[in-house]
């Protein structure tokens, strides 16, 4: 979620962190099933760009409605802020699913992001797993600080 927090800080209302987070969950349903059943390819079709594209469409559509329901239930924002426009929902889901493939591709040897064209994982080992964890942590901390800094600045300016 760290990179998602940074994207939210930069794009503010043009990005849905809730849809992004929902997409992260949907991306890992297939690996969860493999871990529970003990059969299948751990990071299979869902961790390819083709699979991630299909998941992004599903997550964008379902995530829009789930997020709007959650925002209204929690009474976060005004009624206008509780509406997520389609382009924000779909783009947030694509950012979520594609970043998931890339970050898992860096970490896991069995990810095949460009399947069926090649089984080669061009992302694996680009940086160490330790550096990847730090990247996610620091991007989340930076994103949180920037997000609330911008909100505070906007409030004080009355924009």
Average model confidence (pLDDT) across the chain = 94
Instruction: Show Cβ contacts of residue 133 under 8 Å, excluding neighbours closer than 6 positions.
Output: none
pLDDT tens sequence across 41-65: 999 999 999 999 999 999 999 999 9
18-22, 61-65, 75-79, 145-149: least confident range: 75-79
Q: How distant, in Å, are the alpha carbons of 29, 70, 78 from that of 92?
A: 19, 17, 21
pLDDT tens sequence across 73-124: 887 765 556 789 999 999 999 999 999 999 999 999 999 999 999 999 999 9
- Whole-number pLDDT of residue 118: 96
Instruction: Show Cβ contacts of residue 33 under 8 Å, excluding neighbours closer than 6 positions.
Output: 40
Asked if 45 and 32 count as a contact pair (C-beta separation under 8 A), the reply is no
Calculate the dihedral angle through the C-alpha atoms of 83, 85, 91, 96, rounding to the nearest 10 degrees.
10
Write down the pTM of the prediction: 0.91
Taking residues 27-32, report their average pLDDT.
97
- Whole-number pLDDT of residue 75: 79
- Model confidence at 30, pLDDT cuts 50, 70, 90, reads very high
Would you give the distance in Å from CA 132 to the centre of its chain?
15
């Amino acid at each position: 979620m760290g990179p998602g927090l940074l994207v939210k800080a930069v794009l503010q209302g043009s990005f849905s962190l809730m849809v992004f987070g929902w997409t992260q969950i949907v991306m890992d349903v297939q690996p969860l099933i493999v871990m529970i059943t003990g059969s299948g390819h751990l990071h299979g079709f869902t961790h390819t760009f083709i699979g991630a594209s299909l998941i992004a469409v599903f997550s964008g559509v379902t995530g829009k409605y789930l997020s709007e329901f959650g925002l209204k239930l929690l009474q976060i924002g005004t009624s206008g802020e509780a509406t997520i426009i389609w382009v924000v929902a779909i783009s947030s889901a694509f950012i979520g699913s594609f970043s998931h493939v890339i970050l898992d591709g860096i970490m896991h040897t069995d990810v095949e992001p460009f399947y069926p064209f090649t089984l080669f994982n061009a992302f694996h080992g680009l940086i160490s797993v330790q550096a990847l964890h730090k990247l996610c942590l620091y991007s989340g901390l930076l994103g949180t600080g920037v997000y609330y800094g911008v909100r505070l600045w906007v409030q004080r300016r009355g924009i």
